[in-house]
Amino acid sequence: MAGASDKARFYLENSASELNELERKKIFTREEIVSIAKKRSDFEHTINARGSHPSDYVRYIEFEKNVGALRRKRVKRLGVKAPGSGQKTIFFLYNRAVKKFPGDLDLWMQYIEFARKEKAFKKLNEIFTAVVRLHPTKPGLWIYAAHYFMESQADITNARSYMQRGLRFNKSSENLWLEYAKLETIYIAKIAGRRKVLGLDVDRTKQADDQDEDAEMIALPSVTAEDINPTLGEDEGADEVALQNLAAAPVLTGAIPIAIFDSAMKQFHNSENLAEQFVEMFADFDLLPCLKQILGHILQHLQQAAPRSVVTFACDFRLQFAGIQPTSPMFPSALRTALETLDSAIKQNSDATAQLARLAIRQLLPVLRAVEDAEESALKKVLQSSVRKYSRLLEENSPNGIGDAIADLVESLSRGSKEADARRLVQSSARQYPNNERLSQLQKSLET
């Protein structure tokens, strides 16, 4: 206990001068200073004693956050300059907490979230470096760090580095492979969007040679620093030049997501389940210029690896109208071809009818939602009729009770953050299967 008291006294003495200055400037009263010092003493003795827990640090940090918030209000009202920094105190406490409990991921995440809220970018870099070094086999940490650099810093170079290094330690994580491909696809979508705004034509005819600088790294197409970070330019002119140069790079052709998919297929021995997740993920980027190239490559792979798989038919179905908007005059023809492709697959694989019907419903609902507000049209009627048709096929080929297969699909859509599609399906199905209690409950929960 003597050791704990010595440590507590050391940290308390370091904050004494700051408290005295706060009292001198009348930011806090004498009584308040005494109360703050007493609380700090209690917390310090607790966290420095044997048997302390991460929750003790959390309570201490919450106390300091409250003190800091009150101090900022007083300083603003009085118009004086406050000594010290409440932010620095909290960072110091978080740092002590993760050093004492390096295995507590909740503490690390609270530390990261506080740094993000305070926009302490340099500190965040240090935290991410430390946490992935201590927990390299936690895929979620690598994914979180990569998305932070991509979304908050627009730094694809650092984001890509975290994903690549994460895969070195977590090659068996399907989610990490999918998130890496998604990150690169988001990047393509952003760059393509900026090129469109600037009125630049996308040239996707040129290809670059692949590089393999590291045997443990995925072989990605050659991309320069300017290509992957067009904000490097100091002015809009330089930015536009970088975007023009990007047309010659393979990044806009989907070469990097394709390389990730190919590596994942090798790692997981052509897993059909993983391939299906890739198709679903890519298909969500319906405005992506290179969507057809990506799905086309996946389809070629699947036709060789599993020609009669449901996943192969799913990819073929989605490919028919990939990148074509429902408002395009080309869409009705593409949709007709897609439905013909699917119907042919159902005839050839009667034992997979339920799976294929479920696939069709999942793919058609977003399209139907896109034309929902339009006046009655042939396209809208075809879509509504097709959803009803495949809903019946799904129910007729499912062993569960009447309406349960649709209810399962509604729940799946809802869990997958597709509440609008789930709501659209349950509204039409609840009328078709009025006696199914699950559908009735789902309709109520989705409409509230």
Q: What does the block give as tokens for 435?
A: 């006696």
pLDDT of 1 higher than 50: no
- Please name the residues in contact with 11: beta carbons below 8 A apart, sequence gap of 6 or more: 44
Output DSSP code: residue 328: S
Evaluate whether residue 125 is within a structural domain: yes
Q: Which of the given ranges, 21-25, 173-177, 193-197, has the highest pLDDT on average?
A: 173-177
Question: How far is residue 308's CA from residue 328's CA, in Å, rounded to a whole number?
Answer: 31
Which is it for the CA torsion 237, 193, 257, 297, positive or negative?
Answer: negative
The tens digit of pLDDT for each residue in 52-67 reads 999 999 999 999 999 9
DSSP codes of every residue in 126-137: HHHHHHHHH-TT
Q: With beta carbons less than 8 A apart as the criterion, state whether 401 and 355 touch.
A: no
Q: Which residue has the higher pLDDT, 158 or 327?
A: 158
pLDDT at 106: 95
Q: Look at phi and psi of residue 126 and say left if phi exceeds 0, alpha if psi is from -120 to 50, else beta.
A: alpha
pLDDT band at 236 (very low <50, low <70, confident <90, very high): very low
Instruction: Answer whether residue 160 shows pLDDT above 90.
Output: yes
Tokens of 405: 């297969």
Q: Is residue 31 assigned to a domain?
A: yes
State both tokens at 342.
């699917």
Q: What backbone phi and psi angles, to 5 degrees, belong to 273?
A: -65, -45
Amino acid 311 reads V
Count up the domains in the chain and report the number: 1
Distance between CA 110 and CA 47 in Å, rounded? 18
Tell me which residue range forms the domain holding 77: 1-135
Which residues, 6+ apart, have CB-to-CB distance to 291 below 8 Å?
254, 282, 283, 285, 322, 323
Give the residue from 220, 154, 224 showing the smallest Cα distance to 186: 154
Question: In this predicted structure, which of 98-107, 230-239, 384-393 has the lowest mean pLDDT?
Answer: 230-239
Residue type, 446: L
Does residue 307 lie in a domain region? no
Rg (CA), the chain: 28
Gap between the Cα atoms of 271 and 86, Å rounded:
52
pLDDT at residue number 63 = 93
Query: What CA–CA distance (Å, rounded) separates 435 from 402?
Result: 9
Residues 279-324: pLDDT tens digits?
989 988 888 888 999 999 999 999 999 988 888 988 998 898 888 8
Residue type, 404: D
pLDDT at 123 over 90: yes
51 lies in some domain: yes
**What is the pLDDT averaged over residues 352-367?**
87
Strand partners, 210: 221
pLDDT at 369: 82
**Which amino acid does the sequence have at 383?**
L
pTM score: 0.79
Higher pLDDT, 242 or 190: 190
Q: Are 270 and 261 in contact (CB under 8 A)?
A: no
DSSP 275: H
Structural domain includes residue 72 = yes
pLDDT averaged over every residue in the chain: 83
